[in-house]
Amino acid sequence: MAKFYIKHLTKYTYSGVVLDAANLVRLHPINDEYQKVISHTIAVTNNAFIQTHTDFYNNTFGTFMLTEPHEELSIESSLEVITYPKPFPDDSASIEKQWKELAVIKKHIDFMDFMVFDKGFAAQKDISKLMASLNVKEKSPYKIVLELCDYVYKNFKYIKGVTTVNSTIDDVWELKSGVCQDFTNILLQLTRTVGIPARYVSGYIFADDNTTRGEGASHAWIEAYIPYYGWLGFDPTNNIIVNENHIRLAIGRNYSDCAPIQGVYKGNVEEELLVNVEVSTTKNKTPNTPSPDFVPGTPNNSYRQNLEIIQHQQHQQQQ
């Protein structure tokens, strides 16, 4: 069991006045037997009212409007959560039986969305060679995902700034580098290709050593469906099975289902972005101070473009 205190601040400063900002936030953590939310608040500029909803994948998300003119938008999520370790799969069922179970469920409505992979992937031949070398059907699905996770970790370098949210898996495959979002997308492709349902997970990670990557920002990993067990998280950025140091926000088919912030506004302005994420085991009474990690100006009325930059920047931050 572990308790975490998390502050996630996203702040825009505009060069002029904007208005009628409509926003969607996926900052509400999952609350289940392995993750208990003790308290959670979201503070928004001008105390905008946040209305909560539930999406198709049972994620809680919020929407709010900021209709009055403003030159700054601040969204700060403060979270206290307890996480619990999840037992590893028993993996004692016969390998043949496990693969047959996956063949049965692949057309079930609960799994169909998590079986879709990019058939137009240019490196599909490379993947076919990789799968042949792994002797997929001679191993259990659990062991195959472990090997795929290990493959991504060892063959892709963690480098910030070489990819964007618009980078395709072809781009990442060619570069053999990227950040946690890119690693997650590659592992999703590999896992789904072999016939194992896999879903995208957004959240946070607490680093209890100097080698863990992804702290200080929002994080991403996959959950794969293991027969006779259920969903289990695999973090390709750190080559580990997801444990109590991972805090889950949302699940979905891909990043777009889990993006922490989306929105639009009226105004032709340049924007300055400040983002900060703090994950701690002690309660910090010091106000969350953002860091100026990305300060571009965009002269168009596209909050959509800017939010994509935000989310990619959040994934790229690292202490």
pLDDT tens digits for range 53-101 = 999 999 999 999 999 999 999 999 999 999 999 999 999 999 999 999 9
Residue 198 sits in the same domain as residue 55: no
Contact residues for 177 (Cβ-Cβ < 8 A; gap 6+) = 156, 157, 158, 159, 162, 163
Give the pLDDT confidence of 135-174 residue by residue, as tens digits: 888 999 999 999 999 999 999 998 888 887 778 888 898 8
| 289 and 237 within one domain | no
**Residue 110: φ, ψ to 5°:** -75, -15
192 belongs to a structural domain: yes
Domain that holds residue 231: 95-257
Whether 292 is covered by a domain: the verdict is yes
Are 164 and 234 part of one and the same domain?
Answer: yes
Average pLDDT in the 42-50 region?
93
Number of compact structural domains in the chain: 2
Residues 25 and 50 in one domain: yes
**CA separation for the pair 62, 258 (Å, rounded):** 12
Q: Which residue has the higher pLDDT, 192 or 216?
A: 192
Per-residue pLDDT reduced to its tens digit, 271-318: 888 888 999 999 875 444 444 433 333 333 333 344 444 444 444 443
pTM: 0.85
Question: How confident is residue 210, by pLDDT bands cut at 50, 70 and 90?
Answer: low
> How much of the chain exceeds pLDDT 90, in percent?
62
Cβ contact 34:86 at 8 Å:
yes
Same domain as 101, residue 54: no
